[in-house]
Amino acid sequence: NAGVMQNPRHLVRRRGQEARLRCSPMKGHSHVYWYRQLPEEGLKFMVYLQKENIIDESGMPKERFSAEFPKEGPSILRIQQVVRGDSAAYFCASSLGTGGTEAFFGQGTRLTVV
Amino acid sequence: GDSVTQMEGPVTLSEEAFLTINCTYTATGYPSLFWYVQYPGEGLQLLLKATKADDKGSNKGFEATYRKETTSFHLEKGSVQVSDSAVYFCALGGNEKLTFGTGTRLTIIP
């Protein structure tokens, strides 16, 4: 049973380009969370999704960032027109149920904007 | 809303020292509590958890007890090793998302 798979592991984008980060949850998990970790800082919640629904996006910047978790396929975190301040590690986690249930994390995607 | 306050780091200890990393929380209802560990260059791994008051979670020599009266979930280990060097996150699982503390970087020196 594969764990949470994130790809790519490392992503380099020039300012103004788009970044697409993918997350395949563990088999059977229908809850997906995205977190951002800036260098030497903690985890910041971004968005919580269930299949085809955004449940909580209170941590998402209002502009340029979007997330989806379609019925089929991985969850996608999209960052349009990236800026240097978007450089960070982005972690995806999945769980069977709501917040009281253990979440399993992927290895993260390290985004570098040059 | 839910929140987690975690002991600020970094923490540096000698091998075989006793470790405590403090964690307190604010939540409505009866959340589950977790400690996650992040080794360099990796994602987070669950270290231990407790789902109700007075539960003790334990793993790899680490322990934490869910104290409802003090709203705390402090992480302890009796004798740390160099391999325990990592960042430790306290987390609270309420009705929806997991809420994390800011993390405590632990360095163990031989």
Q: pLDDT (tens digit, 9 = 90+) per residue, A90-104?
A: 999 998 876 567 889
From A46, A1, A50, A104, select the one nearest B49 (Cα to Cα): A104
In DSSP notation, A15-58 reads TT--EEEEEEPPTT--EEEEEEE-TT--EEEEEEEETTEEEE-T
A65 and A78 Cβ atoms separated by less than 8 Å:
yes
B46: pLDDT strictly greater than 90: yes
Q: Chain A contact for B100, CB < 8 A?
A: yes
User: Which residues of B are less than 8 Å from A56 in CB distance?
Assistant: 96-97
d(CA A11, CA A21): 9
A71, two tokens: 């019925």
- Least CB-CB distance to B43: which of A33, A102, A105? A105
The 10s digit of each residue's pLDDT in B48-102 is 999 999 999 999 999 999 999 999 999 999 999 999 999 999 999 876 678 889 8
Say if the Cβ atoms of B44 and A42 lie within 8 Å. no
pLDDT in the model for residue A110: 95
- Write the CA distances from B39 to A95, A109, B86, integer angstroms: 21, 15, 5
d(CA A14, CA B29): 45
User: Which residues of B are less than 8 Å from A43 in CB distance?
Assistant: 44, 89, 100, 103
Q: Chain A contact for B29, CB < 8 A?
A: no
Closest Cα in chain B to A10: B41
d(CA A39, CA A15): 19
Say if the Cβ atoms of B93 and A99 lie within 8 Å. yes
Q: Chain A contact for B32, CB < 8 A?
A: yes
